[in-house]
Chain A
Amino acid sequence: MPHVVFTDNIQRHVACPPSTVGGGTVREVLDEVFSTNERARGYVLDEHGAVRKHMIVFIDGTMIRDRLSLSDPVLPDAEVYVMQALSGG
């Protein structure tokens, strides 16, 4: 099952411990994480579910391509890494 890790920077505002969840796309994976941590959703995604302008999501070190629908596939043993851009803050 995919392993999800969040940048330390976000932990100042909302706790996002590493987690192992189900899901075959970025959307499914993050939805499962946020289902038990709803507050964190708004820090990573905007009100329409797209990745915030200054946030980045990697799958096994490769940046996702679909920041709007989050449709990039996630393999069962992948690591999803959520971090903030160096711009924007």
Chain B
Amino acid sequence: MSDRLLAATRKGLFLIERTGRKSVPWEITGISFLAEHVIMTLPDRRDGSIYASLYHGHFGSKLHRSTDQGNTWTEIAVPSYPKQPEGEVQKDMWGRTIEWKLDRIWALEAGGRDEPGVLWCGTLPGGLFKSTDHGSSWSLVESLWNDPRRMEWMGGGADLPGIHSVCVDPRESQRVTIGVSCGGVWVTNDGGTTWDCQANGIWSAYTPPEQKENPNVQDVHRVVQCRSNPDALWAQHHNGIFRSTDRCASWQDVSHLKSVSPTSFGFAVAVHPGEANTAWFVPGVKDEHRLPADGKVVVARTRDGGATYDILRNGLPQDHAYDLTYRHGLDIDESGDRLAFGSTTGSLWVTEDQGDSWQTVSQHLPPIYCVRFV
């Protein structure tokens, strides 16, 4: 079980630790980059290092690495896009020019246990980068960037399209699955040499009917993969919840959450590391509202692959709560018993019993973008 937790926020990176005290079971014990915009963090369980991505409005995106649990940090390289070929202009579906420049980092994941130092980085405007030296240098995955199907991608949650999820298959590190808003789910089986868009079965309610089942325009908000059964993946999509049990060859709509909840919209999803049928979601009223239904914060849990859902609310605010949880704002530890989620209004909750009850860590943090167990 993990006793440590990181929360990347609008005003810094917070370390939270389990105290063992009944009165204050989890407390904030460290702050890095106070006042800075920390949009992503990665605790690398292979070597204990921690990465933090800072998004300076004026000075661009930066990456920092700590090898001493966040006590000290070293700035490392950020992904850089190559120069665009002379005379070539790329425009998105709205006619806006897509510049070959790093806008921001939106996903940061460790490679497999058999490839120390390998990191994957998803970015806006849609480039995937790989490092083989702990982030000291980065290479654009050109096979994906140069795929003409990328030009169908569009912004989802931002003006530019972006890669927000990277899942490395624990059995075979060369198998990598990514999620794109908006560009569906893409899979490589050869470490990024070739890619295929594998979102068949996912459908959109927001596009013209002719585009409804186009896998390459799906606004998949978040994709996660079960550690013990990597053929099982879950996706929180713009208009529902989808599940694959054949490693993205097909997806099934399991938005039955609507039978017990006013909504199946949301951003975040977590899957139990040992039970592929068990997953958690933080639902909110859909896109134009982005609020908890009826001002009540709840977590939805399924234990049967999405056939039924429990609505969990014990310990969560049930009166005038307007917390929204972003796509990286929910995490589960390696035991599968502890989960944590944070909100745009600075609330952070932890459960030690798979969501049956929740403890409030804070209701006064800056807006939380990313929560991860160390």
Residues of A within 8 A of B (CB): 9-10, 13, 39, 42-44, 46-48, 52, 54-55, 84-85, 88-89
Q: Which 8 A-B pairs have the closest CB atoms?
A: A89-B57, A47-B80, A84-B58, A43-B59, A54-B58, A88-B57, A89-B58, A88-B58
With a cutoff of 8 Å between Cβ atoms, the chain A residues found around residue B62 in the complex are 13, 42
Interface pairs (23), CB distance under 8 Å: A9-B58, A10-B59, A13-B56, A13-B59, A13-B62, A39-B75, A42-B62, A42-B78, A46-B60, A46-B101, A46-B102, A47-B101, A48-B83, A48-B100, A52-B58, A54-B58, A55-B58, A55-B59, A84-B59, A88-B58, A89-B56, A89-B57, A89-B58
With a cutoff of 8 Å between Cβ atoms, the chain A residues found around residue B102 in the complex are 46-47
Give Cα A89–Cα B75 distance, bound, in whole angstroms. 20
Known: A42-B60, A88-B58, A89-B56. A47 touches B75 (CB 8 A): no
Give Cα A55–Cα B60 distance, bound, in whole angstroms. 10
B81 CB within 8 Å of chain A = yes
Q: Is there contact, CB below 8 Å, between B81 and A47?
A: yes
With a cutoff of 8 Å between Cβ atoms, the chain B residues found around residue A88 in the complex are 57-58
Contacts beyond the supplied A43-B60, A46-B101: 8 A-B pairs with Cβ under 8 Å: A10-B59, A47-B81, A48-B83, A48-B101, A52-B58, A55-B58, A88-B57, A89-B56
- B65-108 interface with A by 8 A CB criterion: 75, 78, 80-81, 83, 100-102
Give Cα A43–Cα B80 distance, bound, in whole angstroms. 13
Mark each residue of chain B from 274 to 312: 1 if its CB lies under 8 Å from any CB of chain A, else 0: 000000000000000000000000000000000000000
**Chain B residue at minimal CB-CB distance from A45:** B60
**Chain B residue at minimal CB-CB distance from A10:** B59
**Chain A residue at minimal CB-CB distance from B75:** A39
With a cutoff of 8 Å between Cβ atoms, the chain A residues found around residue B78 in the complex are 42
Q: Is there contact, CB below 8 Å, between A85 and B75?
A: no
* A13 CB, nearest partner CB in chain B, Å: 6
With a cutoff of 8 Å between Cβ atoms, the chain B residues found around residue A47 in the complex are 80-81, 101-102
* A87 CB, nearest partner CB in chain B, Å: 8
Give Cα A54–Cα B56 distance, bound, in whole angstroms. 10
With a cutoff of 8 Å between Cβ atoms, the chain A residues found around residue B101 in the complex are 46-48
* B32 CB, nearest partner CB in chain A, Å: 14
With a cutoff of 8 Å between Cβ atoms, the chain A residues found around residue B75 in the complex are 39
Give Cα A54–Cα B62 distance, bound, in whole angstroms. 15
With a cutoff of 8 Å between Cβ atoms, the chain B residues found around residue A84 in the complex are 58-59
* A52 CB, nearest partner CB in chain B, Å: 6
Give Cα A88–Cα B101 distance, bound, in whole angstroms. 16
Give Cα A33–Cα B56 distance, bound, in whole angstroms. 22
* A50 CB, nearest partner CB in chain B, Å: 9
With a cutoff of 8 Å between Cβ atoms, the chain B residues found around residue A55 in the complex are 58-59
**Chain A residue at minimal CB-CB distance from B84:** A48
With a cutoff of 8 Å between Cβ atoms, the chain A residues found around residue B58 in the complex are 9, 52, 54-55, 84-85, 88-89
